[in-house]
Amino acid sequence: MAHQSELIAKDIHAYLKAQQEKSMLRFITCGSVDDGKSTLIGRLLWDSKLVFEDQLAALEADSKRVGTQGEEIDYALLLDGLQAEREQGITIDVAYRFFSTDKRKFIVADTPGHEQYTRNMVTGASTADVAVILIDARKGVLTQTKRHSYLVSLVGIRKVVVAINKMDLVGYDQNCFEQIAQDYQAIAGVLGFEEITYIPISALKGDNIISLTASNMSWYAGPALLDYLETVQIGDTRSVQPFRMRIQWVNRPNLDFRGFCGTIASGQCRPGDPVVVPSSGQQSRIARIVTMDGDLELACAGQSITLTLEDEIDVSRGDMLTDPNRCPGFANQFQAKIVWLNENALLPGRSYLLKAGSSVTPAQISSLKQRINVCTFQDESGKTLSMNEIGVCNLALDRAIAFDPYVENRHTGNFILIDRFTNATVGAGMIDFALRRASNIHWQVLEVDKIARAEMKNQKPFVLWFTGLSGSGKSTLANLVEQKLHSLGKHTYLLDGDNVRHGLNRDLGFTDADRVENVRRIAETAKLFVDAGLIVLTAFISPFRSERAMARDILEEAEFVEIFVDTPLEVCERRDPKGLYKKARAGELKNFTGIDSDYEVPERPEIVVNGANADADNLAEQIIQKVKKNLSLGN
Amino acid sequence: MTHLEQLEAESIHILREVVAEFENPVMLYSIGKDSSVMLHLARKAFYPAKPPFPLMHVDTTWKFREMIEFRDRMARECGFDLLIHTNEEGVRQGISPFTHGSALYTDVMKTEGLKQALDKYKFDAAFGGARRDEEKSRAKERIFSFRSETHRWDPKSQRPELWNIYNAKVKKGESIRAFPLSNWTELDIWQYIYLEQIPIVPLYYSKVRPVVERDGMLIMVDDDRLKLLPGEDVQMKSVRFRTLGCYPLTGAVESTADNLPEIIQEMLLTRTSERQGRLIDHDQAGSMEKKKQEGYF
Ligand SMILES: Nc1nc2c(ncn2[C@@H]2O[C@H](COP(=O)(O)OP(=O)(O)OP(=O)(O)O)[C@@H](O)[C@H]2O)c(=O)[nH]1
Ligand SMILES: [Mg+2]
């Protein structure tokens, strides 16, 4: 903050006034391992006098103890704040730092270069306006430089600085700088940046960072890095885009007030403006924009506001209010680019939670269309995405949501994917386009519906979902239960390995991805049969919780009865009716549940039966007793 | 939008997101300037309703008296639901910063006290007023910071946090600490207090106060539990505080700044960080990270 010190001492009031006019710029540093990202930010903080004396004392001590610069100061230690980072001399997680000059306040995210921590780099990039991509002058453009450049472009950053660092180690050689700039230009073509600025720097020595250091690089005409950051124009088009606001919270302090709270994603609004809710098509007008300091006449993109509407319409959290003349897309299927962030690979068919703004919807990756090779930027085919991989996917959501393509609107075209069991944030998505418009396919209301069909059978349809290890007794039990139901006059259908694996699912093997798809198809089939009015029994290992939860979700409540056939592995293995355990133990059979593939025990099954019990008929009768409620027609 | 307007909007967004997603959130209210700003933002976020969560103060019994007065006055005037929790076991054992050292004292009265209170009321989300510019391990923390059932923070496996979409999913017993002021700096806080005329504890303003010099810090004699050591004497000095905590652990700075512009001026010209006046951060290298892992805010 050295810049303003005169004004601070002379006229603090004038200084405070000037401060209020400041704009804000968010940027990141990225690039390959050890290219000097943390050192650069440390240097920026240092040179803008943001390192206090007590911090300096700590920094000097740390530099001697764990620094990489011998007796000299290691500026990276100002950033690498975690013990593990200091010990290893690398950045693991993104650090957010702040500094300001006369013109701007800056929020900088220092991201890790290691491939392993790419997800933390994406975290930092997602909110940045500008990226500073560092390249070690001795090494030139590396794979990780390309990966980060691709991600920077993917998250929608359009202005980048390519800072060619460690110029001190190549004798401040102009040719070296130009060669690297040329190499970068050659790969950047496909990335669609609006503006690339090349700056030769030495983060360690402070060359061309705050100001130009003519003595070393007289051949470079500018700008210095800070000059660039202070003046770069972030064409904020958000305000001129159509009005969009997702409802975060409905404010109902009393019966007379119903306010809709949210952050305006784009556009602006005034009292009197018409708005529409895409999910219902309902329209109204904005009555007031309410704040604690009085009503507003106008609110713009980025503001967090509370609106009231002129009419009582049905709007809740997750819904979007939009400009009726320029509506967003509204769909339950779309194509999106996904960056995978978790150790457990993405599995097409598995149900994840998709959170877009305030709306949370179960969603599946219906297919992985391509995987993107970050070295060549070419598409490749693939069945799954592993951590840090990027893919183009089709998604199917349980409900349609309002959205815009990410390239058009960074604030309404994004989402995250959450694992339904670990709750981890596993993916980051950017929507390309809708696959078909849900608004056009409002399910045709059929005259003959599920209730009508079931009534004809004099029954309520539901699914008995048996799950358990191979050899646990699922099929035996399901068969017995079906016989009993049949003798009670119920119309049933049993989906079992034999009638499904050989037909519908004969293209599937036993990898995790295939198992997920297998169960998905069974669940969908069961759902159709339920719709036809039948009582369905399924007898599959169905080892993963996520897929069983998915099956539960696509059915209505009380239509899904999970039966865990709880038989110890030793018992199953002893029974080994098809000799499969023996083969699996001998290594002849891969991915066998219980041996080299997991079985995830149900957390809250409706029914648990002890499958080690030899009296199967008795067990089947127990199951019938437990589902008596479903069998009677009353409630 | 100016930078303060942007920060305000971001904080309000975070406050609302937590309230919408969690069943039982709480705001940890430490009475300091950051808490005052956070509370002010909460009032804005939910206006005309009152913030739909209680405030909780973990009282170590060693806070400045003026802080407690201020706390009770704010609760009365704004009509907040205020919960106060003290680690009674610690009190019974007579844990004091003077006799047990700052590390053990902080661990028992603050960290343990906080965990007890969170468990007692089964809060699934807790707002804290921490800022990333305060300390280098804080600079690494997410806005929605996941805590295990035992309140632990695992810095090595933080959830990725993209855009302004926050993952609020937790299992029973687990929780989220949410930091609406993550991206504010000390200067932003002061400027905002100045612009919005937010009330703060008078200890932030200079006044002649009784202090003793100890371990290179000026400690205020706030009550008779402070026993003078040989060679120490009480001096009357014009002092104020940059941060507020427990009085035996919080150093005053000599100053004549008794209004906000002068305080800001001093802050901008100083060559030391605000945490320098806090004993607990210096106990050992990486001490904040360690405390946070154990459940400290
Ligand atoms: N000579 C010289 N060394 C530099 C320069 N910039 C950085 N270094 C050194 O390069 C090494 C790596 O620097 P860091 O700042 O930790 O690199 P990084 O890009 O942040 O690394 P990760 O975050 O782990 O990917 C350190 O030893 C730095 O001191 C420079 O301009 N000149
Ligand atoms: Mg680094």
The model's pLDDT over A473-509, given as tens digits with 9 standing for 90+, comes to: 999 999 999 999 988 888 999 998 767 888 888 888 8
User: What is the pLDDT averaged over residues A100-119?
Assistant: 90
pLDDT(A614) > 80: no
- Ligand 2 centre distance from Cα of residue A112 (Å): 5
pLDDT higher than 60, residue A404: yes
Helix (H) or strand (E) holding B185, with range, is none
Choose among B49, B185, B286: nearest Cβ to A98: B185
**Three-class DSSP category at A307:** strand
One-letter amino acid for residue A15 of the chain: Y
A169 lines ligand 1 (CB under 6 A): yes
Is residue A112 in contact with ligand 1, taking CB distance under 6 Å? Answer: yes
> Does A424 sit within 8 Å of B159, measured CB to CB?
yes
Q: Region A182-208: what's the mean pLDDT?
A: 94
Name the residue among A359, A356, A361 with its Cα closest to residue A411.
A356
Sort A204 into a burial class: Cβ within 10 Å, 0-12 / 13-18 / 19+: buried
Answer with the residue of higher pLDDT: B271 or A213. A213
Return the minimum-mean-pLDDT range out of A156-165, A215-224, B6-15, B90-99.
Answer: B90-99
pLDDT tier for residue A216 given thresholds of 50, 70 and 90: confident
Of these residues, A542, A546, A597, A632, which one is catalytic?
A542
**Kind plus residue range of the DSSP H or E element containing B292:** helix B287-293
Active site residue A542: yes
At A288 the pLDDT is 97
Low-confidence ranges of chain B (pLDDT < 70): 274-286
H-state helical runs in A91-238: 118-125, 143-154, 174-188, 225-231
Cα distances from B96 to residues A142, B103, B105, B109, in angstroms, run: 56, 11, 6, 9
ipTM of this complex prediction, to 2 decimal places: 0.91
Whether A37 is in the pocket of ligand 1, judged by its Cβ within 6 Å, is yes
pLDDT in tens, A371-383: 998 878 888 888 8
Query: In ligand 1, which atom is closest to the CA atom of A111?
Result: 23
Contact A97 B133 (CB under 8 A): yes
The whole-angstrom separation of Cα A10 and Cα A515 is 72
Min distance A123 CA to chain B CA atoms (Å) = 5
Is a pLDDT exceeding 90 seen at residue A81? no
Mean pLDDT of A125-141: 96
CB A403 within 8 A of CB A420: no
pLDDT at A228: 96
Which residue, among A87, A15, B14, has the nearest Cα to A6 in the 3D structure?
A15
- Asked if pLDDT for residue A568 goes beyond 80, the answer is yes
* CB contacts, 8 Å: A122 with chain B: 160, 162
Question: Would the CA dihedral through A346, A383, A594, A572 be positive or negative?
Answer: positive
pLDDT at A3 over 50: no
Strand partners, A25: A106
User: Is the CB of A113 inside a 6 Å radius of any atom of ligand 1?
Assistant: yes
B6 C-beta neighbours (distance < 10 Å), count = 18
Q: Do B194 and A16 touch (CB under 8 A)?
A: yes
| Confidence tier at A86 by pLDDT (50, 70, 90) | confident
SS3 A566: strand
pLDDT-derived band at A320 (thresholds 50, 70, 90) equals very high
Give the length of chain A.
Answer: 635
- Taking Cα atoms as reference points, which of B119, B110, B157, B120 lies closest to residue B281? B110
Helices (H), B144-275: 186-196, 260-269
Lowest mean per-residue pLDDT among A5-19, A233-247, A314-328, B217-231: A5-19
Residues of B in contact with A248 (CB under 8 A): 13, 16-17, 20
Q: What is the predicted pLDDT for the residue at A9?
A: 77
Give me the pLDDT at residue B284, please. Answer: 53
Ligand 2 center–CA B183 separation, angstroms: 20
Q: How far apart are CA A411 and CA A301, in angstroms?
A: 10
Q: Do A263 and B44 touch (CB under 8 A)?
A: no
Residue from A253, A472, A267, A513 nearest A382 by CA: A513
pLDDT value of position A444: 38
pTM: 0.82
In this prediction, residue A302 carries a pLDDT of 93
Give the range among A42-51, A465-474, A483-492, A546-555 with minimum mean pLDDT.
A42-51
A423 CA to centre of ligand 2 in angstroms: 28
Percent over 70 (pLDDT), chain A = 96
CB contact under 8 A, A425 and B167: yes
Q: Where are the alpha helices (DSSP H) in B106-174?
A: 113-121
Percentage of chain A with pLDDT > 90? 60
Q: How far is CA B52 from CA A30, A256, B38, B46, B189, in A?
A: 40, 18, 14, 8, 24
**What pLDDT sits at residue A194?**
93
Does the CB atom of residue A168 touch ligand 1 within 6 A?
yes
pLDDT in tens, A324-361: 989 899 999 999 999 999 999 998 888 899 999 999 99
Q: What separation in angstroms does the CA of B290 have from each of A175, B116, B293? A: 48, 19, 5
Rounded-to-integer distance, Cα A367 and Cα A602, Å: 27
